[in-house]
Amino acid sequence: MSIALEINSKRSGDWRDELLKLLPGTKIEIYPDIENPNEVEFILCWKPAPAYYKRFPNLKVVQSAGAGIDHLFPESLPEHISVSKIVDPVLKEDMFEHVLTCLMNGMKNFASYAQNKSNKQWNPLAYMTIDQTKVAILGLGEIGGYVAEKLAGMGFDVKGWSNSKKNIPGVESFVGLDELGSAIDAVDFVVNILPLTTQTENILNRDVFKLFKSGSILINVGRGGHVVEDALLEAIENKVIKAAYLDVFHHEPLPEDHLFWDCAPIFITPHVASRTNIASSVKQVVDNYKRMLHHQSLLNEVSLKKGY
Ligand code: OXD
């Protein structure tokens, strides 16, 4: 019995070291150096290659190394394989801080002042305050719900949109495609924290951008696949969207020749809004491995049908 790590980043070694501290003596191998694929029952993944699971005939559990599972090809996984995601207070707090940074930057015009400085221009602009600022959060799962509640607690006027009704203090809840327009109506910032599923892919499209308040700001910390890129560039060109803070993209790293690099109102961060903290997440991975060994249900298991 062994654990395989297929983590498309430089962090595989760190994951293995942390796992070994809690599971001494366990065989933990980093793909492609797998001695016997038949022994692998548990795999920890971040952006594995398509059909990765076919390499391991006795695989029982796929554990995402992040909060999302869209990168695990959930639609093609056989039903007998269980899938779990990371749910970690550190991830939620980091996401809240990133979103707050984008909000405050937009509200206080820091990008304009950076540009004015390079032109030696002294040009005071009108700023927004928290109590005047309306925010819509798309996606009220573990992370989105946390961000919405914290922003509401700070005094932002917060609306939330999700698949099912939510009862979050201070957050007005809107449900389903019929209510998407009401959720984003008249808000200053739209923050996307949705999971990427067949239902939510391309949800930020031309028709939806037409419902944005003129001069509003988009913050995308969900997935690149939520956004129809041409439609976003058009909405920016038409000044419907004043600025966009994008942390996630269709292709990562964002290709050098991508139009977003040269579009001044688009701010690019390299998928860093909230990165899995190995030290605070490793215990739940170990718990899931032990649960699998004892035929118990997993922590933070996701529904493959729903995709989250
Ligand atoms: C995640 C991410 O899913 O970093 O955790 O996007």
- CA–CA dist 185, 198 (Å, integer): 24
CATH number of 89-268: 3.40.50.720
Give the pocket of ligand 1 (CB within 6 Å).
66-68, 275-276
CA 166 to ligand 1 center in whole angstroms:
23
- Nearest atom within ligand 1 for CA of residue 273: 4
Cα distance between residue 198 and residue 177, in whole Å = 14
> What pLDDT is attached to residue 28?
98
Residue 129 clears pLDDT 90, i.e. is over it: yes
Flag whether the pTM goes above 0.75. Answer: yes
Confidence of residue 10 (pLDDT cuts 50, 70, 90): confident
Chain centroid to CA 226 = 11
Mean pLDDT confidence for 22-35: 97
Q: What is the pLDDT of residue 293?
A: 97
CA 159 – CA 190 distance, rounded (Å): 10
> What would the pLDDT profile of 73-100 be if each residue is shown by its tens digit?
999 999 999 999 999 999 999 999 999 9
Q: Which of 146, 274, 285 to mutate to test the pocket of ligand 1 (most atoms within 8 A of CB)?
A: 274
Distance 142 CA to ligand 1 centre (A): 12
**DSSP structure string for 262-291:** G-TTEEE--S-SS---HHHHHHHHHHHHHH
3-state SS string for 112-155? HHHHHHHCCCCCCCCCCCHHHCEEEEECCCHHHHHHHHHHHHHC
Please write the tens of the pLDDT for every residue from 151-202: 999 999 999 999 999 999 999 999 999 999 999 999 999 999 999 999 999 9
Q: Is the dihedral of CA 273, 278, 279, 283 positive or negative?
A: positive
| Residue ID of nearest Cα to ligand 1 atom 2 | 66
Q: Which helix (H) or strand (E) holds 186?
A: none
Residue 117 Cα to ligand 1 middle (Å): 35
pLDDT over threshold 90, residue 230 = yes
Q: What is residue 281's predicted lDDT score, i.e. its pLDDT?
A: 97
Q: Is the pLDDT of residue 307 over 90?
A: no
Between helix 89-107 and helix 110-118 the angle, nearest 10°, is: 60
* Site to substitute for ligand 1 among 276, 300, 302, most atoms within 8 A of C-beta: 276
Q: How far is the CA of 34 from the centre of ligand 1 (A)?
A: 25
Nearest C-alpha neighbor of 26 from the set 8, 48, 11, 5: 5
Minimal-distance CA residue to ligand 1 atom 4: 275
**Closest to 188 in 3D by CA, of 108, 96, 272, 273:** 108
- Look at 307 and 14; give whichever has higher pLDDT: 14
d(CA 2, CA 134): 50
Nearest CA to ligand 1 atom 5: 66
CA of 12 from ligand 1 middle (Å) equals 16
CATH topology agreement for domains 2-88+276-293 and 89-268: yes
Query: pLDDT value at position 305?
Result: 83
DSSP state of 51: T
Q: What are phi and psi of 223, to 5 degrees?
A: -145, 155
What's the average model confidence in pLDDT over 57-74? Answer: 96
265-302 tens-digit pLDDT? 999 999 999 999 999 999 999 999 999 999 999 999 99
Q: Is the pLDDT of residue 133 over 90?
A: yes
Q: pLDDT confidence of 306, banded at 50, 70, 90?
A: confident
pLDDT digits (tens, 9 = 90+) for 93-119: 999 999 999 999 999 999 999 999 999
Q: Would you kindly state where each structural domain of the chain is located, as residue ranges?
A: 2-88+276-293, 89-268
Query: In the prediction, which pLDDT does 9 show?
Result: 80
Residue among 246, 275, 280 whose CB has most ligand 1 atoms within 8 A, to mutate: 275
Tokens encoding 59: 């695989």
Enter the CATH code of domain 2-88+276-293. 3.40.50.720
255 contacts 230 by C-beta, under 8 angstroms: no
The predicted model gives 26-48 an average pLDDT of: 97
